[in-house]
Amino acid sequence: MTEIIRVFKAGIYKDNPVFRQILGICSSLAVTNLLTNSLVMGVGLMFVTAFSSFTVSLLRSYTPKHIRMMVQTLIISAYVIMLDLFLKAYMPDMSKALGPYVGLIITNCIIMGRAEAFAQKNKPFISFFDGLIMGLGYTLVLLFIAFFRELLGFGTLFGVTVLGSGWVNWTLMIMPPGAFFMLGIVIWATYKLFPHEDDAGKAGAKA
């Protein structure tokens, strides 16, 4: 149980993939102009991370160490293709809106990072949970950024108009630079909110 709580805390804030590990930045910049896009992207990533961590962990004792990266990539891509096919078949509009970013989940460092850092050393169930929570941490940050971008950029939330007709849209917030500023603010604020216990030792972001 304590293990579950520890994993949960790590994924949500202590070791959050986006604002703490600075991973998955590419997609968090690209799809956060609308809340709906962010939500689907986040749930998709949760699915892929959870299942690939689970599979990697399941196979960990049979996988030869020196080809483990190859195996991980294979597993991850398989789940991403499944997700892509699912979106194309059942949510065609969403598939069009997310464009190449679904396919690019394969190269999302969060999944590879979890497979390598966690699933490789832990049991399948907890790995699945870790993937799910890391995905959730990513989703929450995406939704937070998208909330401001959609609100300021379109005056809507999940497509529903919330700011009246007097509202002037902030065009920049819809464009990729808007995401840069928002992400910068998020990282800044979270560093103030959750100071790192051993910041001195582990300073510097990993790419």
Partner 1 sequence: MAKKKKILYPVLFMIGLTALYTFILASINQGSLEIIKQQEALAEQKSILYVFGIDAPDSNDATTDLYTSKIETVETKTQSYYIYKTSDGIKGYAFPFSGKGLWGSISGHIALSTDFKTVLGLNFTSHSETPGLGGRIDEDWFKDQFRNLDVSASPYVVFRPSDSGNVDAITGATLTSKSVSTILNDFMADIDTFAQKEGLYD
Partner 2 sequence: MKQFIKDIKFMKQAMMRKVIYALIPIILSAIYFFGWRVLTLLAVVSFFGALTEWVFVRKTTGKITEAVWVTSILFTLTLPPSTPYWVAIIGIIFGVLFGKMVFGGFGKNPFNPALVGRAFIYVNFPSFMTVEWIQPFNGFPGGFAHYTGQLIDTVAEATPMLLFRSTGQMLDWNQVLLGNVSGSIGETSAILILLAGIYLLVTKTASKETVFSVLGSFIIMSLILTLLGFAQVPNPIYGLFSGGLLFGAIFMATDPISSPKTKEGRVVYGIIIGVVTVIIRGFALFAGGIMFAILIGNTFAPIIDEAVNALKASKKAKLAKEVSHG
Q: Which lies closer to partner 1 via its Cβ, residue 21 or residue 95?
A: 95
Q: Which lies closer to partner 1 via its Cβ, residue 74 or residue 162?
A: 74
Least distance CB 23 / partner 2 (angstroms): 23
Q: Which lies closer to partner 2 via its Cβ, residue 44 or residue 178?
A: 178
> Mapping DSSP to helix (H, G, I), strand (E, B) and coil, where does residue 59 land?
coil
Which partner from the list partner 1, partner 2, none does 59 bind, CB cut-off 5 to 8 Å by kind?
Answer: partner 1
Least distance CB 169 / partner 2 (angstroms): 8
Q: Residue 160: what are its φ and ψ, rounded to 5°? A: -95, 125
Q: Which residue in 120, 129, 180 sits closest to 12, CA to CA? A: 129
DSSP 8-state assignment for residue 115 = I
Burial of 181 from C-beta contacts in 10 A (0-12 / 13-18 / 19+): middle
The binding site for partner 1 (CB under 8 A) comprises 33, 59, 62-64, 66-67, 70-71, 74-75, 78, 81-82, 85-86, 88-90, 92, 96, 153-154, 169, 171, 174-175
Rounded to 5°, angle at Cα 75 from 56 and 115: 40
